[in-house]
Structure 1
Amino acid sequence: MVSVVVVAVGRRHGASASPVVIQRLSSPSSAAAPPENDGEAELKRMKSLFKSKPKTPVDLVRQTRDLLIYAERNAPDTREVKREDKMLELSKLLRELKSILYGNSETEPVSEACAQLTQEFFRENTMRLLIVCLPKLNLEARKDATQVVANLQRQAVHSRLIACDYLEKNLDLMDILVLGYENTDMALHYGAMLRECIRHQSVARYVLESEHVKKFFDYIQLPNFDVAADAAATFKELMTRHKSTVAEFLTKNYDWFFAEYNSKLLESTNYITRRQAIKLLGDMLLDRSNSGVMTRYVSSRDNLRILMNLLRESSKSIQVEAFHVFKLFAANQNKPPDIVSILLANRSKLLRLFADFKIDKEDEQFESDKAQVVREIAALEPQDHP
């Protein structure tokens, strides 16, 4: 804006005055705001810059790790408000990590973002911190954390499951997850994590070869139904997923394993435990990888006694599952003499049982198997004991 100032400049000797115009740049009108100083302008620019810059997957994992370190080191104290704010921020970050890995209703997961997140997550001890700090999180954050850990077990980076590499160096984390079944509040979260981790064969082998596997015989019978069912699901995964590892384990540990299995599971007073156990036993023995174990199992008179008792159960589902194991005893062409003598002593009862043995829906394979069992039992001849 230009202002014009008019001044009168007099001439000497009384000459009349003539105007002279002087122009100068004026300051803004008094109604305008004063200019910002350089510091304020820079602060606004920086705030705008940080506000518009989205957090990368790496940033999110690092911030999550920092807050987990804080959660691990700081118990509730007089600064409760500060702690609550940080735990709230941690919950928000876990939700964002889950959103990247699973996508949402509007977007699918982006493979590059998932790869960056996975690499950073396993670069340092974020997983260990998350497992250790899980009891300190609220319920929703625990659910999100469980889903994050589960998803990361399947994320391949450069065609490699780097979660497996991490867990092989941190196998003691499986100790925490297995023992989680002893904490009712944490059992379902730790159980879900454990099932995903034992997708890796080396991790499953560690659990099988540890003393922890024996704990499942007790966990499956815990009074809390949900926890017991979850433990049963994990045990089934452990005993069926990695066939060569399971066959090796059962061969080496046959005596104590089946002694526990029979007494604690197949002869349990709990109906659901018996039903799950006989179904899992059939899955294990009918698997070709376990043919050697199966041959040994069907040569035992104690095992046969248990199976014959299960055939007499009032529950049709238990009867059917027991039949699928019993038929292995009948089909064995090298029956030991004591097995033959037990079958002969009970031949008439068994034949009557199978004559009325029906299932709810037609099943040609079942009828064929039953007919074969009947033929085998009817054709038995006494054997001389050695």
Structure 2
Amino acid sequence: MKGLFKSKPRTPVEVVRQTRDLLIYANRSSDTRESKREEKMSELSKLIRELKSILYGNSEAEPQAEACCQLTQEFFKENTLRLLITCLPKLNLETRKDATQVVANLQRQQVHSRLIASDYLEANIDLMDVLISGYDNTDMALHYGAMLRECIRHQTVARYVLESAHMKKFFDYIQLPNFDIAADAAATFKELLTRHKSTVAEFLSKNYDWFFAEYNSKLLESTNYITRRQAVKLLGDILLDRSNSVVMTRYVSSRDNLRILMNLLRESSKSIQIEAFHVFKLFAANQNKPPDIVSILVANKSKLLRLFADFKTEKEDEQFEADKAQVVREIAALEPRDRP
């Protein structure tokens, strides 16, 4: 008989409320009856999958705007996000993946033209501390890392992370021996330093000294090839961004920075050489080169010109060739300056 009377489908609000109740149970539970706990955790997994299905749609239906709106409103009304984040280690792997996708989607859901996730996170910014410290936990790192990248789509959240003590930890996370976690941390680091232009420019200006000291020593001079390659590419992206022009001018006025870039130009890896060139060209193009920069370039003039004579990209690249020709002209024209 049971099959004849299908239960009425749960509304999005009900799904969120039931999820919240079970998350509270999972958080507090000291239930000694294993079977009871398993049953509840299994139900929680189903509910989280249902949340995902409402937000993303499924093989049978596209997501419905009204359902997504109701779900989002209910989700951020109370502490469901906090509960979900803190309970994540207690969920099984598939449910963690579903939960990560739910959190990611909710960052983009608008209710009455507002990203209410942003308002919630602003009021609960300490959740970022939990997500970032996930990089210290092998099981949680990729889930929390993915959530973190979605959360820093919100400028206030990105600013908090940039200005926090956590920022220094990324230099170590990027070099973790676990390749997947290191790559995830590098992706988050890149997002933090490229997404919100004005916030990044302000951060780099305020924190120039320690940030680039760490960047140079831990990333550009890392013994790890992948770390060096990613770091020099990201450095180019940062310095070539117009919003960072003040920082760029300062960076290319330093002889230590020039020395590091010239070493990267001599790497056996073509991709590192090319990325290093994109930063080096900024030193060459600087029309107000400090005397010590000029003297280093003059002292290495013949070596640099020889290097650039054979310097090619794998595919023909007109812009690269034009940049290279300009750099060669700049260096060829340099003359030793008489020191006062």
* TM-score range relative to shorter protein: over 0.9
Whether 1:146 aligns to 2:126 is no
* Count, aligned residues: 340
Query: So what's the TM-score if we normalise by structure 1?
Result: 0.87
For residues 196 and 339 of structure 2, the distance between their equivalents in structure 1, rounded to whole angstroms, comes to 39
* Structure 1 residue corresponding to 2:173, chosen from 204, 219, 222: 219
Cα deviation for residue 53 of structure 1 reads 2.1
Whether 1:72 aligns to 2:27 is yes
**Cα 1:86/1:50, change in 2 over 3 Å:** farther
Name the residue aligned to 2:324: 370
For residues 245 and 203 of structure 1, the distance between their equivalents in structure 2, rounded to whole angstroms, comes to 11
For residues 70 and 50 of structure 1, the distance between their equivalents in structure 2, rounded to whole angstroms, comes to 29
Name the residue aligned to 1:106: 60
* Secondary structure of residue in 2 paired with 1:334: coil
Query: Is there any run of 5+ residues in structure 2 with no aligned partner, and where?
Result: none
* Structure 2 residue corresponding to 1:55, chosen from 10, 13, 34: 10
For residues 32 and 19 of structure 2, the distance between their equivalents in structure 1, rounded to whole angstroms, comes to 23
Cα deviation for residue 78 of structure 1 reads 2.7
Cα deviation for residue 199 of structure 1 reads 0.0
Cα deviation for residue 48 of structure 1 reads 10
For residues 285 and 291 of structure 2, the distance between their equivalents in structure 1, rounded to whole angstroms, comes to 14
* Structure 2 residue corresponding to 1:326, chosen from 280, 298, 315: 280
Cα deviation for residue 51 of structure 1 reads 4.8
- The structure whose residues are more often strand, as a share, is 1
* Structure 1 residue corresponding to 2:87, chosen from 133, 145, 148: 133
For residues 257 and 306 of structure 2, the distance between their equivalents in structure 1, rounded to whole angstroms, comes to 22
Question: Greater RCO between the two (CA within 8 Å, min separation 6)?
Answer: 2
Name the residue aligned to 1:246: 200
After superposition, give the CA deviation of every residue in 1:157-185 in whole Å (9 maximum; x if it has no partner). Answer: 01100000000000000000000000000
Contact 1:337 1:384 in 2 (8 A): no
Name the residue aligned to 1:11: none
User: Larger C-alpha radius of gyration, 1 or 2?
Assistant: 1
Q: Percent identity?
A: 87
Residue type matched to 2:17 in 1?
A: R
Residue type matched to 1:200 in 2?
A: H
Cα deviation for residue 49 of structure 1 reads 12
Residue type matched to 1:381 in 2?
A: E
Query: Is there any run of 5+ residues in structure 1 with no aligned partner, and where?
Result: 1-43
For residues 137 and 124 of structure 2, the distance between their equivalents in structure 1, rounded to whole angstroms, comes to 22
Counterpart mapping for 1:98-247 below 5 A: 98-247=52-201
Counterpart mapping for 1:259-338 below 5 A: 259-338=213-292
For residues 247 and 49 of structure 1, the distance between their equivalents in structure 2, rounded to whole angstroms, comes to 63
Name the residue aligned to 2:309: 355
